[in-house]
Amino acid sequence: MSAKLKNKGVVPSITVPDGGKWATTARQTAADLLSETGLPHRRDEYWKYTDPTTLTAPEATPAAIFKSDEALPFDGVDAVKIVFVDGVYDAAQSDALELAGVEIETLADAAQKDIHWAGSVYGVLEGRGQNPVSRPLASYNTAVSEQGFVIRATGKAAKPISFIYLHESETSDAVIHHTIKLDEGADLTVLENGPAAARINAVMEVEVADSAAFHHVRAQGRDHERRTATHIFARLGTESSFKSFTLTVNGILTRNDAIIEFTGDNAHATVAGACAGDGAFHHDDTVFITHDAVNCESRQVFKKVLRNGAVGVFQGKILVKPDAQKTDGYQISQGLLLDENSTFQAKPELEIYADDVACSHGSTVGAIDDTALFYLTSRGIPHKEAQDMLTLAFLGEAIDEVEDEALADDLRSLLQGWMARRHS
């Protein structure tokens, strides 16, 4: 990485990497914005429940490598596999960047070109997502990132693209930025998994044109000590569809932001997630959905299982602009606390300026249902196994948001593995 964060909690000094004209402009714009906003601080409204100190510190806190012989999630999926090691693209371990219906380039290659379609997406969607809430970690990412892919789907992709983020150095600090564009009617699935580094700052910008469909399934797992900040910025055209699901297990600190903007009518977006945390685990989902078109539907479904002092945070906002009539916005966040030491904080927000909309939100926090637990154990199912069944059932309602059955099954077995390890 060419730039380092120099100051904690204030404006970092940044060296924007060299590139072609479009990339340099975008990077400089982001750097300028960052110098205005400064880095996030606990005093910021959207960092009240999550301490960003280790995410903004000049150096990554070292993280031990998690050793496991288990297959990686989505290993059995026929996909174009793209491997990063400690946040750096590893061509040798990756498949050829060839996929019918899709153009795949590295950010570094694309940035060298004078004119590129990515200039209308890179830093642009991220920039739109900076208002009304500033997102300095994303600005930082846009300003300095040299790693990531620039992907354009022109039709229906023959198979998914699967990003695999391996973590090999205990002190690695990764900044990855993917720029994705789906042309009209295109269909693309992007998978992501792996811890990536001791610390990762990841941004994914997704432009979904009219009638296009984007599917995103992410498994954040393995390393216990990793620290992660991710942002997804998406802009949705008419009758388009965007679905993103994230499963998180372990990880000392995870902050996942999703900023979705409806600009075309009759579109759909789902942002969902399930997480399971045990002990030193802080997990924050922050979602901001802007409805600026007619008859669009958005769903937010988040479930968190927490024990041994783990903390879960959900901040979800639905903003319905004055002309976004017939909006259907749904939001549910639920915490399942397996003991009295764990915490779930939820901040649902609705801001509605149109008068003909259906928006609903719900948030619950509770313990395992004793009656259900007794019913299962009275049939001979051991207490721990019964608790796992009920935990899995709880998280399963979020996993149900994943359309692809094979991917959903992968996520379920990942969770089962996590539970089994916890007992051993």
Q: Which of 66, 347, 377, 412 binds another protein (CB under 8 A)?
A: 377
- Kindly state whether residue 423 participates in binding another protein, applying the rule CB under 8 A: no
Q: What is the enclosing helix (H) or strand (E) of 88?
A: strand 88-89
Measured from the Cβ of residue 59, the count of other Cβ atoms closer than 10 Å reads 12
Using the minimum distance from each CB to another protein, give the nearer residue, 42 or 383: 383
Residue 48 Cβ vs another protein, minimum distance, rounded to whole Å: 32
- Kindly state whether residue 412 participates in binding another protein, applying the rule CB under 8 A: no
- Kindly state whether residue 368 participates in binding another protein, applying the rule CB under 8 A: no
Residue 414 Cβ vs another protein, minimum distance, rounded to whole Å: 17
Q: Which of 394, 408, 415, 419 binds another protein (CB under 8 A)?
A: 394
Residue with tokens 């000392």: 252
- Kindly state whether residue 381 participates in binding another protein, applying the rule CB under 8 A: yes
From CA 264, how far away is CA 357, in angstroms rounded? 16
Q: How many CA atoms lie within 13 A of 314 on its CB side?
A: 28
- Kindly state whether residue 385 participates in binding another protein, applying the rule CB under 8 A: yes
- Point out which span in 21-29, 83-91, 191-199, 392-400 binds another protein (CB under 8 A): 392-400
Tokens of 244: 């993103």
Residue with tokens 């030193």: 280
- Point out which span in 8-16, 154-162, 165-173, 394-402 binds another protein (CB under 8 A): 394-402
- Kindly state whether residue 383 participates in binding another protein, applying the rule CB under 8 A: yes
For 253-310, strand residue ranges (E) read 253-262, 268-278, 282-291, 297-307
Cβ neighbors of 165 (< 8 A, separation 6 or more) are 84, 87, 174, 176, 192, 193, 194, 195, 196, 197, 200
- Point out which span in 106-114, 268-276, 348-356, 378-386 binds another protein (CB under 8 A): 378-386
- Kindly state whether residue 375 participates in binding another protein, applying the rule CB under 8 A: yes
- Kindly state whether residue 372 participates in binding another protein, applying the rule CB under 8 A: yes
- Kindly state whether residue 362 participates in binding another protein, applying the rule CB under 8 A: no
Residue 194 Cβ vs another protein, minimum distance, rounded to whole Å: 28
CA distances from 208 to 95, 213, 318, 399 (A): 25, 7, 19, 23
- Kindly state whether residue 392 participates in binding another protein, applying the rule CB under 8 A: yes
Measured from the Cβ of residue 369, the count of other Cβ atoms closer than 10 Å reads 12
- Kindly state whether residue 132 participates in binding another protein, applying the rule CB under 8 A: no
Residue 68 Cβ vs another protein, minimum distance, rounded to whole Å: 25
From CA 297, how far away is CA 28, in angstroms rounded? 35
Burial label for 100, CB within 10 Å (0-12, 13-18, 19+), is: exposed
Residues that bind another protein (CB under 8 A): 370-372, 374-383, 385-386, 389-390, 392-394, 396-397
